[in-house]
Amino acid sequence: MKFAKVVFRIAGIWGVLVLTPLYFIFNMIGRQHPPPITHPGFYYGFVAVALAWQAAFVVIAHDPVRFRPMIIPSILEKFGYGVTLIVLYVQHRLHSSDLTFAGADLLLGVLFVIAFLATKPSQLLQS
**What average pLDDT does this structure show over 94-112?**
94
pLDDT value, residue 112 = 98
State the CB neighbour count (10 A cutoff) for residue 98: 12
- The whole-angstrom separation of Cα 33 and Cα 111 is 31
Parse the chain into domains and list their residue ranges: 2-126
Could you read off the pLDDT of 17-64 as tens digits, one per residue? 999 999 999 999 989 888 999 999 999 999 999 999 999 999 999 999
- The whole-angstrom separation of Cα 82 and Cα 101 is 7
Closest CA to 105 of 73, 82, 77, 124: 82
pLDDT value, residue 81 = 95
Q: What is the mean pLDDT of the chain?
A: 94
